[in-house]
Amino acid sequence: MIISARNQLKGKVESIKEGAVNAIITLKSNSNDIITSTISMEAVKELDLTPGKEAIAVIKATEVMIGIGDMKLSARNQLDGEIVKVQEGAVNAIVTLKTNGGNTISSTISMSAVKELGLSAGVKAKAVIKATSVMIAV
C-alpha cells in the first residue's frame, strides 16, 4: 500500500470491542505502542479483523496534535515521546516525535503552536490522536 498518510504503524490487532454501529479496535504496534481506532462494524467485517491479525494504523499528520506535560483529554491515543525534528514552513511545521515505544509520528501544526509550546528537538511531548482519526488497513 502506498498512500500519502505519513503515519503508518504496523502491528497486530489486540482486541475488538463491538458496538451496534462502530467498533473500538486496539492495535499493538510492532514496537509495543498501543493505538486505538474507532471504525464501523461494516469495516471490521470487510477487513476480516480478528485479534492477532496483522494490520496497520494509518493516521494523517494533520490529525496528530502535539501536547506538552500532563493533560486530561478524551483522546484515547496519547503517545509519550521526544521531538526529534521540527521542519518549519511559512505557516505550518511538520513536527516529528519518536515515541517511547520507538515509532516515529509526524504532525502538521501551525508555526504559532510550535512557538507557543517551545517545540524543538529534544523536547519531551505527546502525540495526541482521537480514535476516530485512526484508519485501519490490512
Please check whether residue 2 lies inside any domain of the structure.
no
Same domain, 55 and 71: no
Here the CATH number for the domain that contains residue 99 is 2.40.50.100
Q: Read off the pTM.
A: 0.95
Same domain, 11 and 53: yes
Task: Report the number of distinct structural domains present in the chain.
Answer: 2
Please check whether residue 84 lies inside any domain of the structure.
yes
Q: pLDDT tens-digit profile of 47-93?
A: 999 999 999 999 999 999 999 999 899 999 999 999 999 999 999 99
Same domain, 111 and 65: yes
**Nearby residues of 83 by Cβ (< 8 Å), 6 or more positions away:** 66, 95, 96, 97, 119, 120, 121, 122, 123, 124, 125
Q: What is the C-alpha to C-alpha distance for residues 25 and 134, in angstroms, rounded to an integer? A: 10
Residue closest to 96 by CA, chosen among 69, 61, 131, 63 = 61
Q: What is the mean pLDDT of residues 112-131?
A: 98
Same domain, 43 and 70: no
Q: What is the C-alpha to C-alpha distance for residues 126 and 94, in angstroms, rounded to an integer? A: 15
pLDDT band at 1 (very low <50, low <70, confident <90, very high): confident
Q: What is the C-alpha to C-alpha distance for residues 22 and 42, in angstroms, rounded to an integer? A: 8
